A and B are shown apart, each in its own frame.
Chain A
Amino acid sequence: MKLETAKSLLLIVLIGTSLILTFGMWNYRAEYEPLNNEGSIDQVDLGGEQKDVSDVVMPNDIIFKMNGQYFGHVDPMDKVQFFGEMQQWEITGIQNSNIAEEKESDAEVEVIFPTEIPLSLFGDILNMDDSFAHSANFYVDRFYIDLQEDNQLLRIRFVERGGENVVEGVIRSVTNYDALLSIFNDLTDDKYEEMKLLTDTARNIYIPVKPKTMTSYTYTFDTMDAVKIRNIMFSNPNLVSVSESAPGSIMYRTDNRQLNISGHGMRFINVAEPNNEPTEISILQRSLDNINEYSGFTDDYRLDSFSEESIAYRLYHFQYPVVNNSYMDLSTIYQEWHNDQLSEYNRSLISLRMIINTSTKKLRNSDEIIASIQRNENQSDIRDVQIGYRLTIESDDNGEDYILLEPNWYQRINNSWSTVPDQNADTQSLEGGS
């Protein structure tokens, strides 16, 4: 029958087209040119970790205050772990508070950060159900948590230094309350040590009483590849002029950008006047996004200073800050942003690889440090005193470079760290070259 043959044919055609359409859909890829085909480079990766705000904003000190005595963790790892627990605590009822009702609590924790940051950033660091949207915004470098025995809850307070504003919240958890209470009961444990308070300095500073013996480390290290760095900093590398301004110092330049790589560090400036519209993204987030883009946090870098236009991260080694203070500062990452454009970027290009040697070093005891601080004519400018590692690059007999990390006492004046002057070495000028 003719109709039947026609129907069979139609059926075959229909099956065929449905097959073609199915395969077509599976395999369809839009054809488009890569956007910047010319001189484009693969995503550069410096091999670091992705970091967010809570990874880089970490406290230097957590102080437990009880009956006029001060305690801290002996092992800084315990401090980090405790802060990690604190970050889980659920904070509610954020509100402005009245500074007048200064009710001294018997038991209080003071958490001190290396730099002042806008209060709103704590929304990213701590666990809060509501943000600081309805409270005052100011810069703080510490917060306090005290035990409220009457109603078994914890109160968290952010106090503006020398200002009017106080913002507080509560942690309504019996578990958290009990956890903190048990720490206060255990402060005489070996896990904790007594601290001394310095008040004539720019901030309240706490210093451990017991003398400390620490380890010096010798490391092998890697230096990041200059070409990789060039490819990150210049969108079109084949327009960049290269010159060697001094042996081992490479200068990359265009009409508006300049990158100098020397002595294991880099300095970059960009003087272009950006056309982009300013956005509302905070400078910290912008800076983190930028560095994460090429996995630029190659070691444990933490926020060290913060302003409207600049951000500095400092290298930490086993929870202690590292100080270098050479012209190319090998212990920091520094960025300056203007109108949402990275206009200055200085950083260390080293990454620590392997410990090849250790030795122990006995640090000066607290009396000596306190005496030195009190005799310092700039005492009122000292913002912080910490044990830190001094980073130096040394060469061995074979000309092989390695990094030496030596513990010492450091004081911070404004944003620069220097060794606490040694009283015994007479009035020897400040060591450390800063």
Chain B
Amino acid sequence: MQWSHIKTLFILSFLVLNVYLLFQFISKQQEMDIPELEISDMNLDDELDQENIKITADVSFEVPELSYISSSQKEFTASEISDLNDKEDMDAEKSVDNQLVLAEFSQPLEIPKNPTADMISNLVSPYVLDASEFSFGTWNHDLNIIVFYQNKEGHPIYLNQHAMLIFYVNDDNEITHYTQTMVGKANPQGSTTLNTPMTAIGSLLHNRSLKADEEVTDVTYGFYSRIEEEGEGTQVFAPTYKITVNEERDYFVNAVESFTYPGSYTEYFVAMFQENYLRKLTLMLDGEESNANHFISIIEDKIEPFRSETE
């Protein structure tokens, strides 16, 4: 009988022990489990709702498969320039470093009323080198210039002075001149997964670029670089979303690291003219007969009202 008692005692004590161990085990499990990283997209909708931010842009497209690309500056050749000069009513030159083409129309191109991007493209494409690589970017009304971006891998390189076609519009709504820069062949860098457009919108919200009661009106993607060094340096372009808010402000959001940059177009163009194009044009003055002089005064006139802001 005694053995039976001992067994009962053992059973009871082991029961208590097991309950204790089970508790320990469960609490340890909870402690060590890393809390699931919050999927920000989940709460983002609520956050946007709360701030009364509407998204009218199409953001349901598939996350693009773009990689970082690197590319160096293209140098224009003499034969390319003479091709341009062969066209009617055109007078083209290149800068001393061969990186900038400037062209003058002896017969200005008239821009049709209420133009669309396509209409402008069709109007200018016969007069431009590699026109198929460029697509309409923006019409800056402060400076009255029409800007085309160069495309790489089928997507535009946003706002980059080394891959840009600029048409200079006069007060009669005519294109009188253009300048062109290009980057060469694109080399893809290592690939990585891109954020969704919603994540990009989220980072705009979190750094307060996107405020209450505003509307996200457009989302597109392409490439963008913040480091634009001249010379032999290679530029690296990151896959980037261009997000338009209220149809008036653009933001560039890096699609990998979510860094956001406001698209301050006028400021960018003025700085670009002052620090890059005008310098190149001045260098051309030393050469023989050139219309660089005329060009300089056109650009100076355009940026004159905005100078003080940037200096």
Contact residues of A with B, CB < 8 Å?
Answer: 4, 7-8, 10-11, 14-15, 17-18, 21-22, 24-25, 28-30, 32, 38-39, 235-236, 238-241, 243, 245, 251, 253-258, 269, 271-275
Contact = CB atoms under 8 A, between A and B. Distances in A.
B180 to A, nearest CB: 22
B190 A32 contact: no
A29 B32 contact: yes
B80 interface: no
30 contacts: A7-B7, A10-B11, A11-B10, A21-B18, A25-B21, A25-B28, A28-B25, A28-B29, A30-B29, A39-B190, A235-B257, A238-B190, A239-B68, A239-B189, A241-B70, A243-B234, A251-B233, A253-B233, A253-B235, A254-B236, A255-B226, A255-B236, A255-B237, A255-B240, A256-B226, A256-B238, A256-B254, A256-B259, A269-B227, A272-B226
Residue from A239, A245, A272 whose CB has the most chain B CB atoms within 10 Å: A239
A39 B10 CA distance: 55
Given A11-B14, A256-B257, A273-B259, 20 more contacts: A7-B7, A7-B8, A10-B11, A11-B10, A18-B17, A21-B21, A25-B21, A25-B25, A30-B33, A238-B190, A239-B189, A239-B192, A241-B236, A243-B233, A245-B232, A255-B237, A256-B227, A256-B259, A275-B207, A275-B260
Contacts of B258: 275
B68 to A, nearest CB: 5
Given A11-B14, A21-B21, A255-B224, A241 B234 contact: yes
Interface of B: 4, 7-8, 10-11, 14-15, 17-18, 21-22, 24-25, 28-29, 32-34, 68, 70, 187, 189-190, 192-193, 203, 206-207, 224-227, 229, 232-238, 240, 254, 256-261
Contacts of A24: 25
Given A239-B256, A255-B254, A14 B15 contact: yes
Given A18-B18, A21-B18, A243-B233, A275 B206 contact: yes
Nearest to A31: B33
A65 to B, nearest CB: 50
Contacts of A18: 14, 17-18, 21
Grouping DSSP codes into helix (H, G, I), strand (E, B) and loop, the A interface class, with mixed when no group exceeds half, is mixed
Residue from A24, A255, A257 whose CB has the most chain B CB atoms within 10 Å: A255
Contacts of B22: 21
B64 to A, nearest CB: 16
B235 to A, nearest CB: 8
A21 B25 contact: yes
A275 B4 CA distance: 71
A21 B238 CA distance: 51
Contacts of A239: 68, 189-190, 192, 238, 256
Contact of B261 (A28, A235, A273): A273
A235 B257 CA distance: 10
A240 B236 CA distance: 8
A257 B227 contact: yes
A4 to B, nearest CB: 6
B61 to A, nearest CB: 22
A15 B14 contact: yes
Nearest to A243: B234
Contacts of A15: 14
A30 B192 CA distance: 27
B191 to A, nearest CB: 8
A238 B189 contact: yes
Nearest to B21: A21
A80 B235 CA distance: 49
Going nearest first, the 5 A-B pairs with the smallest beta carbon separation are A238-B190, A255-B238, A14-B14, A241-B70, A21-B21
B4 A4 contact: yes
Contacts of A32: 33-34
A39 B234 CA distance: 23
Contacts of A238: 189-190, 192
Contact of A255 (B10, B29, B225): B225
A254 B233 CA distance: 12
